[in-house]
Structure 1
Amino acid sequence: MKSLLKYALISFIALAVALTAVVVFMPGVSVPWKQLTGGADTDPQTVDRQLQVAAGYRIELFADAVPNARWLAVTRRGDVIVSQPKRGQVTLLQADENRDGQTDGQRVLIDGLRRPHGLFLHENWLYIAESDGVGRVPFDHSDGRLAGRYQRIVEGLADEGNHWTKTIGMGPDGWVYLSSGSTCNVCTEEDPQRATIMRFRPDGSDLEIFATGLRNSVGFDWSPKNGGLYATDNGRDWLGDDFPPCELNLVEKDAFYGWPYANGNRIPDPDLGVNSGADIKQKIAASRPPVHNFPAHNAPLGITFLRSPTQPAAYRDAALVALHGSWNRSVKDGYKVVSLHWDEQGNIHQKDFVWGFLSADKSEVHGRPVAIAEDASGNIYISDDYAGAVYRVTTGDGESAANVAASKPRMQAPNKPLVIDSGAAQRGEELYQRHNCAECHATQVPLQNLAKKYNLQTLADYFDTPTPPMPNYGFSSTQKRALAHYLMAREVEIESGANLLLPPGTPVPIDPSGPSG
């Protein structure tokens, strides 16, 4: 045992010496050291002491002890879901019900995944982008729990080399968009899906490449003003402190954005573009230049357009971008969140929104922002994979975030009518009686408010992984559907006196506070 510990200590020292040599002898390298050992520590005092935010806002530590916190999604109830790819898990941070500015608790939603990164919620599904595929799982917004089994809907995505993270988002056109970064700093890719943004249908079908030449577009979002798809992109390394710029691109179908042959505004790459043939030169000339430049090596990741009407007028429809921060510079830069503002002529102006993750002398890193999410009440959440934290930004100078949050309306789920098939409900009643379900549900576990927690699909999927003491009966898809229809119809009949024996497909009204069907 002592020899193993001795070997581990020697190995760690050797690694530290090697990394020190890299920093000392390779120009243009300034690594945030604590990233190598798990990240920095943070607490409310650190946030108060170090971080600053734009006028009209206040920032607080919403959650700590969230190692490798990356992508974010906010549920209808106000819970925050965060991916932790290096842990292979997705975690739920409970909504701040007691209004003290911090999460009421956290728990792992799902684990055992392959480097999960991108997240989004659509209807009653939680979509998760793993490094080699995409899956989805039924999600119960009312209590923040999974309501069925996790299903992989896109398989076979490559994740070797650099830039293995995958980000996903639902577009206004109903397609799911998926970014996949390059395997390298600069090279000609063999896999046509790398360094692209792709898209597919919500069920995983019809996967296609949407745009190419995007070295590492980790973040993207759609403008609420013009509907355009804007994506951040990380420029290549080893061309000096100040070149090439990182980019914001307006991404359109079948367009090419330059990498690996050009950088910035069609400037030929010294490795693959300068001495290229006519076909490459023509490709560079036809490439799309960025619509906005970020400083070189600032590493823009998440981008989110602010949509809540509760935001100050100057920030409505503005975009927030997380600048993860440099490593390939002799002096650190980035490490902040900026806001982008479009004027009437379409010009983009950049301002600092949250800063202080980098010390004033640029020697010490306190955090590295990654992703940004806004809830329906206008609260802004920012993840930090360096400090293992999630921050919450609320409106109000000097006013506590708890008071600000208390004054905002709670989010409400959208409403849809529940459509019950009476034939299926009758078959479900037979299953209910055959398995003597009433024995438990009449006394120990009363069935109440199902329509507020589930729709028909998520209730059917629940039977795959039921909560004990209910056993898993191994129902077929048809049986699960039938039982779901019966239980919903039974609840409606008890609460409203609606007639269960209606023609198949007859809409049955339910409590409008329930989730969409």
Structure 2
Amino acid sequence: MMKVLRSIFFVLVILMAVPFLLMHFGPSGVATTSKVVLHALVGYGGEEPSENKIRQQLTVAEGFQLNLYVTGLGKIRFMHVTEAGDVLVSRPRSGEVLIIKAGDGASPKAVKVLLNELTRPHGLDYVDGWLYIAESNAVGRVAFDVASGEVSGDYERLVTGLGDKGNHWTKTLRAGSDGWLYLSSGSTCNVCEEKDTQRATIMRFKPDGSQLSVYASGLRNSVGMDWAPWSNELFATDNGRDLLGDDFPPCELNHIVEGGFYGWPYLNAGTPDPDYGDKLPDDLPANKVPAHEFNAHNAPLGIRFLKYNQQAAYKRTALVALHGSWNRSVPDGYKVVALHWQPDGTIIERDFVTGFLQNENLLGRPVDVVEAQDGSIYISDDYSGSIYRVTSAEGGSSSLTLANADKQTLANNEDVLVGYDDEQRESLVKQGAQLYQQFNCTGCHQGSLELVALTERYSVDSLMNFFSAPTPPMPAFPLNAEQREALSVYLFNQELREMK
């Protein structure tokens, strides 16, 4: 009976949502947008990613390789990696924290429930033998043994009475080196003046739960926090408000300081809000503008400064998970980006893992990023219930691999060029060869793993899409659609010839 009722409710939500989506986003954006809206409202999720989907859609930055670490985890969110290499991950909708026991590196040994019966747990951190958990209305802790991966004793709530009504009920928790624990609490609404002074803030408290106070305010929904290892400055992502068009306001990365005010709801990245800009109180501190602006509605969530990666280009770098838009006519985000701090303090944003959304093919929505002491990077996805693992690639090239030992290597897709007759294929191959020489592709790709097993990872269309917006440091060459098709056909043809 309950399954029938859930199905009826699901259908009703879709029927109510479609007119709104058509009115605001047009037919072209409805398919992806409706999936994301349903994901946010009722927990609707996508299928577990297949090997073919991963190989076709995901691209990782040069010098790294990516594999599917584990899937089938449900609506997972934030993570913590222990010194033993185990990954802890929260599952708010089921009130659980999972532990994913480290295995041989490429795949885990086991997955089990570590804690349950919690109230929408989200943020996690570990301090002096205690695992701290930010529930939607409280913060608690339990004794945790890193070596065994086991908890002991009773779970104790230290901070209670936190507001969790309305929007943005998740709480994120991070331990600072200054002896304080920092706690974010998002706003109840898209835009409003909050009655609860703890909402739309970052707070902090002592490890025993005492001295809880607001540390910074005017933060609509700062989900991710981390400290720059070279300066110990705190940075936090923040989601900008909705319903002001496709491209405004930007989402933000803010440098968080004690007593800082960051604008919401009165200002959006320094620009007065159309609804509340004339209501700015006189007694607030001066607004602090973002340290970096993300594209509007990209929804930056987890942020992690890399500490253990040995690649020189990533020495002063943070990775940020962009959950992806639900309210743009053309969906955007759905990737992990690298923020590179320059000597003058400016920040350059580059793609790190892309392809979670290609056309209407929604593979996942990145949520959090963590780094293990061996330099492994883990990315959680609450849409498909998956965790991806990124490691340095041998030889400095990028590649995709599949982790599970029982998975078989994909057969080469020898039919990738089946739609072309001999004359079309010959013409495109000739044109593609000329382009390959013209842009000196051999200079960077001689012997590169990026040009291995293309038929396993791409179709002509998906490779053409990649050439439209390649992963840095590969430049975006001025190629029209015909040239991108020719280059794709040429590369596939070369690989198929070598296979024979």
The alignment's TM-score, normalised by the length of structure 2, stands at: 0.75
> Greater CA radius of gyration, 1 or 2?
1
The superposition leaves residues 391-439 of structure 1 with CA deviations (integer Å, 9 ceiling, x where unpaired) of: 0000013678799xxxxxxxxxxxxxxxxxxxxxxxxxxxxxxxxxxxx
Task: After TM superposition, list the pairs within 5 Å mapping 1:29-48 onto structure 2.
Answer: 31=33, 33=35, 35=39, 37-48=44-55
CA distance in 1, matches of 2:268, 2:86: 40
> Structure 2 residue aligned with 1:276, among 279, 303, 308?
279
Seen in structure 2, the aligned counterparts of structure 1 residues 209 and 162 have a Cα distance that, compared at 3 Å, is same
CA distance in 2, matches of 1:374, 1:6: 42
The superposition leaves residues 94-146 of structure 1 with CA deviations (integer Å, 9 ceiling, x where unpaired) of: 102x34x1111100000100000000112211110000000011111111111
Alpha-carbon distance, 1:304 to partner? 0.3
CA distance in 2, matches of 1:147, 1:62: 28
Task: After TM superposition, list the pairs within 5 Å mapping 1:92-491 onto structure 2.
Answer: 92-96=99-103, 98-99=104-105, 101-264=106-269, 266-273=270-277, 275-276=278-279, 279-280=281-282, 283=284, 286-308=286-308, 310-359=309-358, 361=359, 363-396=360-393, 397=397
CA distance in 1, matches of 2:8, 2:401: 47
CA distance in 2, matches of 1:206, 1:336: 37
SS of 2:246 mapped into structure 1: coil
AA matched with 2:294: F
Alpha-carbon distance, 1:366 to partner? 0.9
Alpha-carbon distance, 1:43 to partner? 3.4
Alpha-carbon distance, 1:197 to partner? 0.3
> Over the residues paired in the alignment, what is the CA RMSD in angstroms?
2.1
CA distance in 2, matches of 1:12, 1:32: 12
Query: Residues 62 and 398 of structure 2 are in contact (CA less than 8 Å); yes or no, is this contact kept in structure 1?
Result: no
Alpha-carbon distance, 1:17 to partner? 1.1
Match of residue 492 from structure 1: none
Alpha-carbon distance, 1:364 to partner? 2.5
Match of residue 66 from structure 1: 73
CA distance in 2, matches of 1:395, 1:212: 38
Alpha-carbon distance, 1:27 to partner? 4.3
CA distance in 2, matches of 1:318, 1:353: 11
AA matched with 2:59: Q
CA distance in 2, matches of 1:57, 1:346: 26
Query: Residues 68 and 402 of structure 2 are in contact (CA less than 8 Å); yes or no, is this contact kept in structure 1?
Result: no
Seen in structure 2, the aligned counterparts of structure 1 residues 46 and 123 have a Cα distance that, compared at 3 Å, is farther
2:33 paired with 1:26: no
SS of 1:209 mapped into structure 2: strand
Query: Residues 48 and 60 of structure 1 are in contact (CA less than 8 Å); yes or no, is this contact kept in structure 2?
Result: no
Q: Give me the identity figure in percent.
A: 51
The alignment's TM-score, normalised by the length of structure 1, stands at: 0.72
The superposition leaves residues 445-495 of structure 1 with CA deviations (integer Å, 9 ceiling, x where unpaired) of: xxxxxxxxxxxxxxxxxxxxxxxxxxxxxxxxxxxxxxxxxxxxxxxxxxx
Query: Residues 220 and 302 of structure 1 are in contact (CA less than 8 Å); yes or no, is this contact kept in structure 2?
Result: yes
Query: Residues 66 and 399 of structure 2 are in contact (CA less than 8 Å); yes or no, is this contact kept in structure 1?
Result: no
Give unmatched runs, 5+ long, in structure 2. Answer: 404-500
SS of 1:147 mapped into structure 2: strand
Query: Residues 24 and 329 of structure 2 are in contact (CA less than 8 Å); yes or no, is this contact kept in structure 1?
Result: no
Query: Residues 139 and 148 of structure 1 are in contact (CA less than 8 Å); yes or no, is this contact kept in structure 2?
Result: no
Alpha-carbon distance, 1:311 to partner? 2.7
AA matched with 2:141: R
CA distance in 1, matches of 2:21, 2:185: 29
Match of residue 89 from structure 1: 96
Query: Residues 358 and 367 of structure 1 are in contact (CA less than 8 Å); yes or no, is this contact kept in structure 2?
Result: yes
Alpha-carbon distance, 1:317 to partner? 2.7
CA distance in 2, matches of 1:6, 1:249: 46
